[in-house]
Chains A and B, each alone.
Chain A
């Protein structure tokens, strides 16, 4: 057990998989090195096992998380199911959702897309999406905060924003025209549903906060008040 305590990252066995906990003192490089070696040594043991990454004690930067993610998923073929960032913020990952700038998902017939949507859990983002952020979800996407100008939210299913939508939102990215966008107020730079694109009418003054939905009606995206 002593050697386990000294390791830069602790690997604990749980009932349904493994828990990875980086040591708060350890440097990121040592974590990567240790993990790389450990996973290589016992590749067959860890292969396709479910892992949870617990970063509550040792926060990592986004580029570090994506480096760790690619090491686990691509090299060691481990299934990363959850990333715990803080007490309140965690990503439930069934498919590689953390990718920040991956190409948009390819077109799939809409019926297939809807059936896939049910099996994948929605992505929940618990902070404001600032300019330069790109959120991609293989299912529905819930944002608890604003989507600022310059940010993009792309989801195969619906997009629900508990805040103002001022950036770009693309619902039904796989071609599902029944997808909808919900927000406290929709004043975006652009909204897209499936293959349709809409921009808000020019000169429209943003009204007071309310609840709005964007959906496709007769081949046109319409924003309606709830």
Chain B
């Protein structure tokens, strides 16, 4: 039974693609799915850092493609979950070292063995983007509530549709509910009405994200974090569960109590 291949993309840089990949991958693995994450950002490797696996890299994506190693040799197992793997990208090479067809073949092979193949797409819409998208059947587009990020997301959705990828979902990252209430930030409704793709989840802005990235432990392991909860729910929705979107009205009293107890 072949698994699902997802690509996480955004067009604009710095909106949280890598963080999303790390967290979605971890959530799905926690749900007893076998998951492999591919860092397609050749030359700007960072998924391994976010996962805290930097010092274990021996082989990388380019080595697999060039036949210097078997793909099992380049796959690094997560520290906590033994059904979660990453394939790091090469830091010393560039995007042209891999061709879209090669990525497609690799994704097909991996989808035979794993339930989910998650590809971390580089920023931009050039060669790196084409490589990352080539093997994917589902796309998750990340945007933040800023006009520049939304414009780029719109362009990327257009390119995906032109490339005949129809299964596109949206995640709005770094939403600040307080600013939306004051009218200083675009609301989720505005973004969805402009981009016109189904919403997979909304991740609130949180300081926990920076902390978890620096520690190399994905946020979803932290039970008290609201951003972590958002990612857990996104993972659930990907598995086909119908989980309502998180409360827009900010923290409820009960949640605040829970958070106090957990911390």
A156 to chain B, nearest CB (A): 24
B194 in the interface (beta carbon within 8 A):
yes
Say yes or no: B164 contacts A130, CB within 8 Å: no
Among the stretches B87-95, B112-120, B155-163, the one at the interface with A is: B155-163
A149 to B162, CA, bound (A): 18
- B154: chain A residues at CB < 8 Å are 130-132, 148-150
A90 in the interface (beta carbon within 8 A):
no
B245 in the interface (beta carbon within 8 A):
no
Say yes or no: A62 contacts B162, CB within 8 Å: yes
A126 to B205, CA, bound (A): 37
- B194: chain A residues at CB < 8 Å are 146, 148, 166
Contact partner of B155 among A59, A61, A130, CB < 8 A? A130
Q: Total contacts A to B, CB within 8 angstroms?
A: 33
- B147: chain A residues at CB < 8 Å are 149
Q: For the complex, count residues of A whose C-beta is within 8 A of B.
A: 14
A128 in the interface (beta carbon within 8 A):
yes
Contact partner of A128 among B163, B164, B196, CB < 8 A? B196
Contact partner of B158 among A132, A149, A166, CB < 8 A? A132
- B164: chain A residues at CB < 8 Å are 59, 61
A133 in the interface (beta carbon within 8 A):
yes
Q: For the complex, count residues of B whose C-beta is within 8 A of A.
A: 14
Task: Take A61-B163, A61-B164, A62-B162 as given contacts and tell me if A132 and B155 are in contact as well, using a CB distance cutoff of 8 Å.
Answer: yes
Say yes or no: A150 contacts B163, CB within 8 Å: no
Say yes or no: A150 contacts B196, CB within 8 Å: no
**B interface, by DSSP: helix, strand, loop or mixed?**
helix
A183 to B54, CA, bound (A): 53
- A148: chain B residues at CB < 8 Å are 154, 194
- What per-residue 1/0 map shows which CB atoms of B50-86 lie under 8 Å from chain A? 0000000000000000000000000000000000000
Task: Point out which of A59, A127, A130, A166 has the most chain B C-beta atoms below 10 A from its C-beta.
Answer: A130
A127 to B162, CA, bound (A): 12
Tell me the chain B residues, 153-180 only, with Cβ under 8 Å from chain A: 154-155, 157-159, 161-164
B151 in the interface (beta carbon within 8 A):
yes
Say yes or no: A146 contacts B162, CB within 8 Å: no
Say yes or no: B155 contacts A131, CB within 8 Å: yes
A132 to B159, CA, bound (A): 9
Specify the chain A residue showing the minimal Cβ separation from B153: A131
A contact set with B: CB distance below 8 Å: 59, 61-62, 127-128, 130-133, 146, 148-150, 166
B contact set with A: CB distance below 8 Å: 147, 151-152, 154-155, 157-159, 161-164, 194, 196
17 more A-B residue pairs beyond the given contacts A131-B152, A131-B158, A149-B147, with a C-beta to C-beta distance below 8 A? A59-B164, A61-B162, A61-B163, A62-B162, A127-B161, A130-B157, A130-B158, A130-B161, A131-B154, A132-B154, A132-B159, A148-B154, A148-B194, A149-B151, A150-B151, A150-B154, A150-B155
13 chain-A/chain-B pairs, Cβ below 8 angstroms:
A61-B162, A61-B164, A62-B162, A128-B196, A130-B155, A130-B158, A131-B152, A132-B155, A132-B159, A133-B158, A150-B151, A150-B154, A150-B155
